[in-house]
Structure 1
Amino acid sequence: MEDRFDDWRSTASASNKSVGYSILILSVITIIICIVGCLGNILSLVIFSHRDMRSTGTQLLRYLAAMDTGLLLLSFSYIVHNLHNYFSFSNMFLLVFMAVTPVTYPLSRSLRTCTVYLTSAVASHRALAVMRPLLCSKVTPKHIKAASIFIVVWSVAFNIPHWFALPPQLYWEPLINRTWLRYTTTNYTGSNLYLLVYEGYIQILLVYVIPTVFMITSAVAMVRSFVRRKVFRQSRRSLESSQNSEQTAVFLRQTSQLHQQTTRLTTIVLSVTVMSIISQGLASIELILFATVWGKGSNCGDCCKLLSSFNVLLISLNSGINFAFYGLWGAKYRYTCKNMCSCMKASV
């Protein structure tokens, strides 16, 4: 019975042991990131839902945390399957993975697209807030909700071709002595229309190039705001030294506190944006290789296997590290978390 599953692991068995151990290390790190990231995103969802944290900016971050959690869960299942190829656990696990892949594969691609566009929306909203604050103040929670729904619908609709890439097929499985499901490939899966046009040019343009351009533009705007803050601090010091009135000092102190809060939020969004830009860059390289080399049946070698594993790690890190940015630079985030924990202890 084991011979039936050797075909699924033939590529892995022929690989160099050092590559297998490298993928093992990357996979273990990715699994840890997925577990910690899911817990952190759930914590962020709870904190951002608190009444003291509700705003249009945190509303987008809350939606992003929800999508990131789903993506981390699917990445976890993928990386465990990747480990199974090199270090076999159970044939039953492989059967389950084969049965759910027709759903998890297009769903993970939809979630990935959704997180990319939500990150672009977060970055654009923050850039608008620092560059045109009066215009940004007109953006209401209803506008944010409508934009988020549009992003979700667009992500699902755009990835509809992936639902036909690995169609399910019923077959008789002797291992469990019953009819079972598995994913199959078709002529459509290996066609130039799917691999080169859709998975290649269209994906790179609409999922990687356009959102990344928005992120880079927004990041530049946020960096420019930091420069303006520095100029403001210098002018404030000179004004304080030239004017000693109490009213001027109070006004400058209040303005400084407001600028500090704005700078913290901008730093958080900038960190999330830069991490996403890095992840987008490497993912686009893998996609180009898939469309030009892997998809045409050429042997890409161990380098591509390592690149794929590292890409999954980076995508998982991008989805799982945001809560660390919130806690590191978000004083209000830490304060709300502390208060919620205190209330929970008091209720117990």
Structure 2
Amino acid sequence: MANISRTEIRYDDSNDLNLNSQQFGHETIAWIATVIAICGVFGNILGAVVLHRMQKTNSGVRLLKYLSLVDVILLVLVFLSSILLLFNTHVARTVCAIFHPFAYLLAMALYTFEIYLTVLIAVQRCTAVTFPFKSGFFLRVINKVLGAVAVFTVAFNVPLWLTFWPRPYWNPDLNMQLFYQDQQGGFLGIDGFKVYIGFVLVFRCVIPLTILITCNIILTISSRRQNSGNGQTWNKGFTALVVAITTMSVVTHDVSAVDLLLWVIDSSTTNTDFQNVVVLLITINCSTNFIFYYSFGKIFRQNFKSFFKVVLNVCCKENNEEENTDLTSC
């Protein structure tokens, strides 16, 4: 995921025992990532529904809801573009061959948006903690800020799309027309593409990580002050929630940055095992939101339980109506 040059799909079989053992390890990681991704999709959807009931006038909760929705789409794209590559089955190869070129480009763009959305969440929480009387400003400009981040994300990934724009070819193994991605840097060329990767390192790794780490330090210090004082329970829990999310994001993007940096230093030597770890970490990062919400958010737990009761009541009413209908018909 972090290594942008990793876009080639191989369909030829190999009799090498080392490749077979590596494939077994890849499929093990793929199954683990698949289970986590499925749980993450359901968890994020459920979390987004509960957060939607809570958002009202809180910009931080609204940003968390958007993060959950973005992570749902990103998990699907990561599965289609990276996790499926690790399976060695005909169905996986076919599905991956059809969707991979497009899913990969969409995933990289959405991955950039997810990083800066996490940065916005951290900045919003720091603003609410350090300048509580100005926290309403974020709520007024939140849509404009998200729009600016979306425009930046699209513009920043335009060179990537032009470089790896899918090209059609006939695949004799699958007996169908598919698409592949140019490995030579497209219109940028290899040298130009390496320069672009330098900008990726700065704007997708260095700048966001610096902001996230700074915000984490501020939030940790403020959290300790709140623990020693009489701070509101909601503020304490929400601060701990944001620290947990941003810490997970920092760990994931640190490893992703190392993977990308290694490729910039020497693109001829790539460690597929390390790349698989990056994919697994990204999957975990996008799937743990609901766990953090439920663990650190007391109000979230209360809203989740009330929402769950409402769903149960609706289901019970429908069952009762069906039973009454059956009795009437008899």
Alpha-carbon distance between aligned partners in 2 of 1:93 and 1:20, rounded to the nearest angstrom: 13
Write the letter of the residue equivalent to 1:89: T
1:332 maps to 2:305: no
1:38 maps to 2:37: no
Alpha-carbon distance between aligned partners in 2 of 1:16 and 1:102, rounded to the nearest angstrom: 24
Q: Which residue of 1 aligns with 2:99?
A: 100
Q: Which residue of 2 aligns with 1:181?
A: 178
1:20 CA displacement: 3.2
Q: Which residue of 2 aligns with 1:237?
A: none
Q: Which residue of 2 aligns with 1:270?
A: 243
Write the letter of the residue equivalent to 1:136: S
Report matched runs for 1:27-176 at 5 Å: 27-51=30-54, 55-84=58-87, 88-90=88-90, 93-140=92-139, 142-174=140-172
* The structure with more radius of gyration: 1
Unpaired segments ≥5 residues, structure 1? 1-5, 233-255
Alpha carbons 1:99, 1:168 under 8 Å: kept: no
Q: Which residue of 1 aligns with 2:320?
A: none
Alpha-carbon distance between aligned partners in 1 of 2:287 and 2:207, rounded to the nearest angstrom: 23
Report the secondary structure of 2:168's partner residue: strand
- Between 207-216 and 163-172, the greater mean CA deviation after superposition: 163-172
1:212 maps to 2:209: yes
Report the secondary structure of 1:61's partner residue: helix
Alpha carbons 2:259, 2:274 under 8 Å: kept: yes
Write the letter of the residue equivalent to 1:279: T
Q: Which residue of 1 aligns with 2:281?
A: 314
Q: Residues 11 and 228 (structure 1 numbering): CA distance in 2 closer, same or farther, change over 3 Å?
A: farther
The root-mean-square deviation of aligned C-alpha atoms, in Å, is 2.3
Alpha-carbon distance between aligned partners in 2 of 1:344 and 1:223, rounded to the nearest angstrom: 37
Alpha-carbon distance between aligned partners in 2 of 1:330 and 1:31, rounded to the nearest angstrom: 27
1:172 CA displacement: 3.6
Write the letter of the residue equivalent to 2:300: Y
Write the letter of the residue equivalent to 2:208: P
Alpha carbons 1:222, 1:266 under 8 Å: kept: yes
Alpha-carbon distance between aligned partners in 1 of 2:128 and 2:94, rounded to the nearest angstrom: 50
1:82 CA displacement: 2.4
Report the secondary structure of 2:128's partner residue: helix
Alpha-carbon distance between aligned partners in 2 of 1:165 and 1:152, rounded to the nearest angstrom: 20
1:259 maps to 2:258: no
Q: Which residue of 2 aligns with 1:246?
A: none
Give 1:227's match in structure 2, choosing from 209, 224, 239: 224
Alpha-carbon distance between aligned partners in 1 of 2:57 and 2:208, rounded to the nearest angstrom: 26
Alpha-carbon distance between aligned partners in 1 of 2:133 and 2:27, rounded to the nearest angstrom: 51
Write the letter of the residue equivalent to 1:271: A
Alpha-carbon distance between aligned partners in 1 of 2:155 and 2:81, rounded to the nearest angstrom: 23
Alpha-carbon distance between aligned partners in 2 of 1:325 and 1:176, rounded to the nearest angstrom: 43
Unpaired segments ≥5 residues, structure 2? 1-8, 316-330
Q: Residues 187 and 299 (structure 1 numbering): CA distance in 2 closer, same or farther, change over 3 Å?
A: closer
1:28 CA displacement: 1.7
1:106 CA displacement: 1.4
1:345 maps to 2:312: yes
Name the count of aligned residue pairs: 305
1:229 CA displacement: 1.8
1:168 CA displacement: 2.6
Q: State the TM-score, normalized to the length of structure 1.
A: 0.81
Q: Residues 13 and 326 (structure 1 numbering): CA distance in 2 closer, same or farther, change over 3 Å?
A: farther
Percent of residue pairs identical: 26
Alpha carbons 1:52, 1:336 under 8 Å: kept: no
Alpha-carbon distance between aligned partners in 1 of 2:250 and 2:301, rounded to the nearest angstrom: 26
Alpha carbons 1:105, 1:162 under 8 Å: kept: no
Alpha-carbon distance between aligned partners in 2 of 1:282 and 1:36, rounded to the nearest angstrom: 23
Q: Which residue of 1 aligns with 2:6?
A: none
Alpha-carbon distance between aligned partners in 2 of 1:342 and 1:131, rounded to the nearest angstrom: 37
Q: Residues 299 and 12 (structure 1 numbering): CA distance in 2 closer, same or farther, change over 3 Å?
A: farther
Q: State the TM-score, normalized to the length of structure 2.
A: 0.85
Q: Deviations over 1:11-36 (max 9, x none)?
A: 89574554333323222221111111
Alpha-carbon distance between aligned partners in 1 of 2:288 and 2:43, rounded to the nearest angstrom: 8
